[in-house]
A and B are shown apart, each in its own frame.
Chain A
Amino acid sequence: MSAAELMDYDKALELFEPVLGFEVHVELNTRTKMFSPAPNPANEEFHAAEPNTLIAPVDLGLPGSLPTVNETAVRYSISLGLALGCQIAESSRFARKNYFYPDLAKNYQISQYDEPIAHDGQVEIELEDGTLFQIPIERAHMEEDAGKLTHVGGSTGRIQGAEYSLVDYNRAGVPLVEIVTRPIFGAEHLAPQVGKAYVSTIRDIVRGLGISEARMERGNLRCDANVSLRPRGQEKLGTRTETKNVNSFRSVERAVRYEIQRQAAILAAGGTIIQETRHWHEDTGVTSPGRPKSDADDYRYFPEPDLLPVVPSPALIEELRAALPEAPAVRRRRLKEQWGFTDLEFQDVLNSGLLVEVEETARFGAAPAQARKWWTGEIARIANAQEVEASSLVSPQHVSELIALVENGELTDRLARQVLEGVIAGEGSPSDVVKSRGLAVVSDDGALIAAIDEALASQPDVLQKIRDGKVQAAGAVIGAVMKAMKGQADAARVRELVLERASQV
């Protein structure tokens, strides 16, 4: 793929105003699917299922099978609508979106069209410098996810050149809520950051509600980013592109920035933007054209005849409203105070998108300061190196366990980093890794004393210096002992014992 012409970012912003829009799909973690009683792979319990083991007749579109609406999915959708500041529709109905593609065996997706469950909301996001920005929400509607295709043959694993495709229908019918924003104005040069903060806020909201696992690397949360540019001073909106499946916070930021630079170069050269779907390439950091919007988008929506309208009672809505967790801004203020972080420390956590991780790690018993140190330090460093989300590497429970091992003196910081590597490599929990890799701190004084005596005997000059009160000379002995213990000893304890033995031997 040839790289597109890009305009310098600041120059692009000087000439054009970026207008954004986002469609975020959230997979709900109900136990069963949206329209069938098959187990839901977006629920942690069924996540590791083998292909085509979580399927009911409805998910395969078998003749005579009829969909039934999952009550919990409806409740979750209403809760999410309320958390997005939306109005909940008095009456809402499902619609068929017709298209032929093997990811859905029915040849249509059950979605919502003219009567979504929630509409007209607003979400407040916080940018890196702490300023607040409002994102207008047009609607949030219920629908079902499609199956997963694997394209076989061809060199790139993409559809072009594929010889055939393999289909797993486990994901077909997973409950989804699609959240659609209105056009977002005024983000200006912060547009990429607004995208990142918005998706991160949606993730915090659904995690706070407990209605989705919200793991982006698993596709529980997927973002399509719309970007258009208009010349400064022009009222009319420019033609937009829709970049599909931008599936990490960092990618949202990069993809928005890339599209601004790409479109600006085309427009400045007198070209026109084609309204099209584009693909984001994580590895190269560019977008490439997908298909243009065309006849294929004629989905011929019509009301789903197999399902009845959803008419939530005011009592249900009020019950769910009362059960909402605190708003993200309120929660941030509370956590900052509770943890006693400085502005800088707290902003560091927020900007890394690790608020939920730190909070959950603390809930498992770790000191918040330690949780912050590990997540924004070593774990973020490894995540950066591997170009993945930190949250995908290790669970808050395991981080908390690791911190506890250090606190109890069973691991030094250095050993803990090795244990973390093992946990990330999938070797099990921290204590599993300690056992299997034999990484525990040598806390047996007998073993330490034997090593110290040996080191002192082989360095009589050092022993003499220590006895003469030159305590800093002990460093050479401590070094030798740490080496003999392969680093698995607590250096402070070794120092203590060296001084003790030097006066006795």
Chain B
Amino acid sequence: MSEITPELVEHLANLARIGLTPEEVQSLTGELGAIVDSVAKVSEVATPDVPATSHPIPLVNVFRPDVPGETVTTEQALAMAPEHDGSRFKVSAILGEEQ
């Protein structure tokens, strides 16, 4: 059975900055549980000789040469933001810290 509990859903919602009603927490607990259980079926057919993979395409080492390319202008960038002050974006003061 799934390990998805209402507390875990609330915790994840908090980390993702999503506000959920108690009803939504309840229904998501069931839905996420069903999704996790379905995905868990994959592990039943995966044998130890199948290496874990994070990517469906068998490619490695795709690089970009270190040459300056296209950028957006300050005006273009700021035009997309709700607020700016001079040439910088303006955001609410958030209690927290840089990673």
Interface residues of A (CB under 8 A from B): 30-32, 37-39, 50-57, 60, 62, 68-74, 91, 93, 97-104, 109, 146, 149-153, 159, 162-169, 277, 290-291, 295-296, 298, 300, 303-305, 308-312
Contact = CB atoms under 8 A, between A and B. Distances in A.
Interface residues of B, number: 42
Interface stretch (B24-32, B39-47, B60-68): B60-68
A312 B74 CA distance: 37
Given A30-B66, A150-B88, A308-B60, 14 more contacts: A31-B66, A39-B68, A52-B89, A56-B71, A68-B62, A101-B96, A102-B94, A162-B93, A165-B91, A165-B93, A167-B90, A169-B89, A309-B55, A311-B60
A168 B11 contact: no
Nearest to B55: A308
B49 to A, nearest CB: 18
B70 to A, nearest CB: 7
Contacts of A98: 15
B17 A100 contact: yes
Nearest to A150: B88
B14 to A, nearest CB: 7
B64 A69 contact: yes
Contact of B71 (A38, A109, A163): A38
A73 to B, nearest CB: 7
Contact of B72 (A30, A60, A166): A60
B21 interface: no
A72 B55 CA distance: 23
A334 to B, nearest CB: 31
A308 B53 CA distance: 11
Nearest to A71: B63
Given A101-B96, A153-B93, A70 B66 contact: yes
B1 interface: no
A311 B90 contact: no
A60 B62 CA distance: 22
A291 B94 CA distance: 13
B77 interface: yes
B85 A308 contact: no
Contact of B98 (A57, A146, A168): A146
B57 interface: yes
A448 to B, nearest CB: 55
Contacts of A57: 72
B74 A308 contact: no
A54 B96 CA distance: 26
Contacts of A153: 93
Contacts of A101: 94, 96-99
A423 to B, nearest CB: 30
Contacts of B62: 68-69, 308
B54 to A, nearest CB: 3
Given A101-B98, A166-B85, A70 B90 contact: no
Nearest to B53: A303
